[in-house]
Amino acid sequence: MSRPPQSINKSQTAAESTVFFNLPKPTATLPDVFLTAIPLLFLLSSTKPNASLIKFLPFNPFPSNPRRFLRIPSMSRPSTAAFATPQALSDWLKPRLPAQSLASWGVKPGTKNVHNLWLELSQGETSLLDSSPPLRTVNVVSVRVLGENNNLLLVEAGQELSDGSFRDRFRPLSEKMKPNESVEEAVARAVREELGSMTVRIVPGSYEKKLEERNSASYPGLPARYVLHSVDAWVEGLPEGDFVTEEKEEYEDLDGTMGLEKAVSVRKHFWKWVSSDSLSSSIE
């Protein structure tokens, strides 16, 4: 009678077929240790470091991938180059100003037009902050011309413009400052251009600086920030009573491409002496 087949347990079979030999571990004897140590000591004592094999890695104080520092963004301010023409400036202003305000520029008596603003930007006298509405920033020098005994002040009562209109001013002599122009240089230029070539002396310690923000009468709807640099001054050779001066062209058009005839300019200045306590500020 044949025997039934038996199942094979692989783990059991492997265990049964594995033979473990418990061999004694070799124990180092004293002579063996002594004989091994002698060559090692001889090698260490006789070997000298080879300088040619020592290589120094160059020290680099700057990592290969330096950390990138992010520049803090400044508020967007369009540069002069962004407005190649007065039309480009007009196109930029239209979505940022009320339509009725922009349409009144150069039409309403006493106002200036887009060409005037473009000239101010091209000469660096004005900057525009990209906002709705844009903010116009101007540095202005204001000269309080003192009269006899310092009891009177010279004010510009009004101006006659090139379009035939007249606008009231009643303010001290003032002028927009040029880029990189000092207060002293701006004072001398303002006196020369609006009063004639006369000697001017600034009163020591009279300089004041203040900031004013308000809407401009020259550009309705366009808010303005005026950085006012005020000084008291003595100007020699001025008439004792009211007088009128004529101003030459405000900007020079050397290559004939600025189209100055399209801008509204000042033709005449009307001056009068008033008491110091009756003066009010009006910068445009």
Contact in structure between 179 and 137 (CB atoms under 8 Å):
no
The count of C-alpha atoms lying within 13 angstroms of the C-alpha of 72, restricted to the half-sphere facing its C-beta, is 0
Q: What percent of the chain has pLDDT over 90?
A: 55
Higher pLDDT, 268 or 64: 268
Specify the DSSP element, H or E, that contains 33: helix 30-46
Q: Is the pLDDT of residue 68 over 90?
A: no
Beta strand 223-235 with 135-145 is parallel
Of 67, 128, 133, 127, nearest in space to 97 by CA: 133
Query: Dihedrals φ, ψ of 138, to 5°?
Result: -135, 135
What CATH fold (topology level) applies to the domain 80-278?
Nucleoside Triphosphate Pyrophosphohydrolase (3.90.79)
- Across 23-37, 57-71, 219-233, 260-274, the highest mean pLDDT is recorded for 219-233
Contact in structure between 163 and 264 (CB atoms under 8 Å):
yes
pLDDT at 257: 61
Question: In angstroms, rounded to a whole number, what is the distance separating the alpha carbons of residues 157 and 244?
Answer: 10
pLDDT at 127: 95
Hunting for tokens 């011309």 — which residue is that? Answer: 145
Hunting for tokens 């090698």 — which residue is that? Answer: 43
Q: Is the pLDDT of residue 79 over 80?
A: no
Higher pLDDT, 27 or 209: 209
Query: Dihedrals φ, ψ of 227, to 5°?
Result: -95, 105
pLDDT digits (tens, 9 = 90+) for 255-273: 666 677 889 999 999 999 9
Strand, coil or helix: what is 264? coil
pLDDT digits (tens, 9 = 90+) for 106-156: 999 989 999 999 999 999 999 999 999 999 999 999 999 999 788 899 999
Contact in structure between 123 and 129 (CB atoms under 8 Å):
no
pLDDT at 159: 95
Of 92, 167, 163, nearest in space to 128 by CA: 92
C-alpha 171, offset from chain centre: 30
DSSP letters for 188-237:
HHHHHHHT-S--EEEPTT--EEEEEEEE-SSSTT-EEEEEEEEEEEEETT
The angle subtended at Cα 182 by Cα 178 and Cα 188, nearest 5°, is: 85
